[in-house]
């Protein structure tokens, strides 16, 4: 059987770096695309390294050739100017979807964010957590761009039959400690992230799906049901790090809304959140 080839855009970023080692499999080649600056292949590592922009149709056509699935992570991962956000996140995602469609790639997994629904209140979550298909209430231009890519994924499924799974990621970092108390709610552990992407790659004929990307945290407020329906099983819980978190709890709107500190950050201004 031919090797499975998976294209990961934005592979030099935080999530891409965490997934590069975790999504290695016998019989799988990872094609890794970022603007530049990716670590060289390790001995025996089945990777193809590409430099290019997700906004460049020619680069994306080349990147999608011979690919079975795309995990699209590339773009701005926090707030920046409207123009940049529109170009890289929205136009870039349209370019990725179009290249995938034209190349006959059957499945695209899109990295969305909790900031699509950043202005939903935490207390909307209820017993089982905020549903993964809660309608958009973005907290930033960044959140608006993620709402737009969710819609683009839906369009490419409905028009062209692509399987598109949109993952509204909470906070995927090596540990929740850097995130402060909010991380105990939002953390997606790297190992759970890999389990989630594996489920997205393996599930038969998903069609268009919206799921949350989160670990089974004690303080979780996002529903796991939609991801579990694809075969995901979280084995991690941020609570095991609670003793190491000394930063003070959030207060005011940042404590009341899903988007945390993003809900009060200046619109369109790059910031370190
Ligand atoms: P990151 O900022 O660490 O990585 C993003 C990568 O995309 C960078 O390596 C960057 O060089 C690349 N990139 C930027 N513009 C590009 C372009 N025009 N063409 C190709 N590559 C480009 O972000 P991170 O944390 O790894 O997030 C990955 C994805 O997951 C992003 O789409 C982000 O919005 C989403 N996400 C991440 C969360 C997290 O907690 N890490 C939470 C929610 C969503
Ligand atoms: C995101 O969407 C960002 O990409 C990530 O850097 C974190 O800020 C995360 O949300 C979060 O809410 O913690």
pLDDT tens sequence across 140-149: 999 999 999 9
CB of 93 closer than 6 angstroms to any ligand 1 atom? no
CB of 23 closer than 6 angstroms to any ligand 1 atom? no
- pLDDT bracket for residue 271 (50, 70, 90): confident
What counts of helices (H) and strands (E) characterise the chain? 9, 7
Given a cut of 80, whether residue 78 has pLDDT beyond it is yes
Is residue 142 among the annotated active site residues? Answer: yes
Predicted TM-score of the model (pTM): 0.98
**Closest Cα to atom 13 of ligand 2:** 171
CB of 250 closer than 6 angstroms to any ligand 2 atom? no
Domain boundaries, the chain: 4-263
Residues in the chain: 273
- pLDDT bracket for residue 1 (50, 70, 90): confident
What's residue 215's pLDDT?
A: 98
pLDDT digit string, tens, across residues 44-53: 999 999 999 9
How far is it, in rounded angstroms, from Cα 233 to Cα 225? 10
CA of 77 to the centre of ligand 2 (A): 7
Given a cut of 70, whether residue 273 has pLDDT beyond it is no
In this structure, what token pair is assigned to residue 270?
Answer: 């790059």
What's residue 237's pLDDT?
A: 98
Beta-sheet strand order (sheet of 47-51):
47-51, 28-34, 4-9, 69-72, 107-113, 163-169, 208-213
Residue of 23, 32, 62, 74 with the most ligand 1 atoms within 8 Å of its CB, for mutation: 74
Which of 142, 156, 232, 257 is catalytic? The answer is 142
pLDDT digit string, tens, across residues 114-148: 999 999 999 999 889 999 999 999 999 999 999 99
CA of 145 to the centre of ligand 2 (A): 13
Of residues 271 and 206, more confidently modeled: 206
What's residue 220's pLDDT?
A: 97
**Closest Cα to atom 8 of ligand 2:** 273
What's residue 255's pLDDT?
A: 96
Cross-strand partners of 107:
69, 163
**CATH architecture of the domain formed by 4-263:** 3-Layer(aba) Sandwich (3.40)
How far is it, in rounded angstroms, from Cα 222 to Cα 214? 7
Atom in ligand 1 nearest the alpha carbon of residue 11: 9
**Closest Cα to atom 28 of ligand 1:** 73
CB of 88 closer than 6 angstroms to any ligand 1 atom? yes
What's residue 149's pLDDT?
A: 98
Atom in ligand 2 nearest the alpha carbon of residue 14: 6
Distances (CA, A) of 183 to 172, 249, 253: 9, 11, 16
CA of 24 to the centre of ligand 1 (A): 20
What's residue 272's pLDDT?
A: 65
Atom in ligand 1 nearest the alpha carbon of residue 92: 18
In the block, residue with structure tokens 């970092």: 173
What's residue 37's pLDDT?
A: 82
pLDDT digit string, tens, across residues 246-270: 999 999 999 999 999 999 999 999 9
Query: E strand or H helix at 62, and its extent?
Result: helix 57-64
What's residue 143's pLDDT?
A: 98
Q: What is the mean pLDDT of residues 215-236?
A: 98
Given a cut of 90, whether residue 5 has pLDDT beyond it is yes
CB of 18 closer than 6 angstroms to any ligand 1 atom? no
């Amino acid at each position: 059987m031919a090797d499975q080839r998976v294209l990961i855009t934005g592979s030099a970023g935080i999530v891409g770096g965490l997934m590069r080692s975790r999504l290695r499999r016998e019989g799988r080649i990872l094609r890794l695309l970022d603007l530049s600056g990716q670590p060289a292949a390790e001995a025996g590592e089945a990777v193809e390294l590409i430099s290019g922009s997700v906004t460049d149709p020619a680069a994306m056509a080349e990147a999608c050739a011979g690919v079975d699935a795309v995990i699209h992570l590339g773009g701005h991962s926090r707030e920046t100017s409207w123009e940049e956000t529109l170009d890289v996140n929205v136009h870039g995602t349209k370019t990725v979807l179009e290249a995938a469609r034209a190349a006959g790639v059957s499945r695209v997994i899109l990295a969305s964010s909790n900031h699509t629904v950043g202005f939903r209140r935490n207390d909307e979550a209820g017993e089982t957590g905020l549903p993964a298909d809660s309608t958009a209430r973005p907290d930033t231009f960044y959140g608006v761009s993620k709402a737009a890519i969710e819609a683009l994924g839906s369009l490419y499924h409905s028009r062209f039959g692509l399987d598109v799974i949109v993952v509204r990621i909470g906070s995927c970092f090596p540990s929740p400690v850097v995130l402060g108390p909010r991380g105990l709610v939002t953390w997606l552990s790297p190992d759970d992230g890999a389990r989630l992407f594996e489920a997205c790659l393996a599930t038969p004929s998903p069609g268009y799906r919206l799921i949350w990307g989160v670990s089974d945290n004690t303080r979780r407020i996002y529903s796991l049901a939609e991801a579990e329906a694809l075969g995901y099983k979280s084995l991690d819980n941020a609570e095991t790090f609670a003793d190491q978190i000394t930063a003070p709890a959030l207060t005011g709107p940042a404590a009341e809304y899903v988007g945390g500190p993003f809900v009060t950050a200046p619109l369109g201004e790059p910031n370190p959140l």
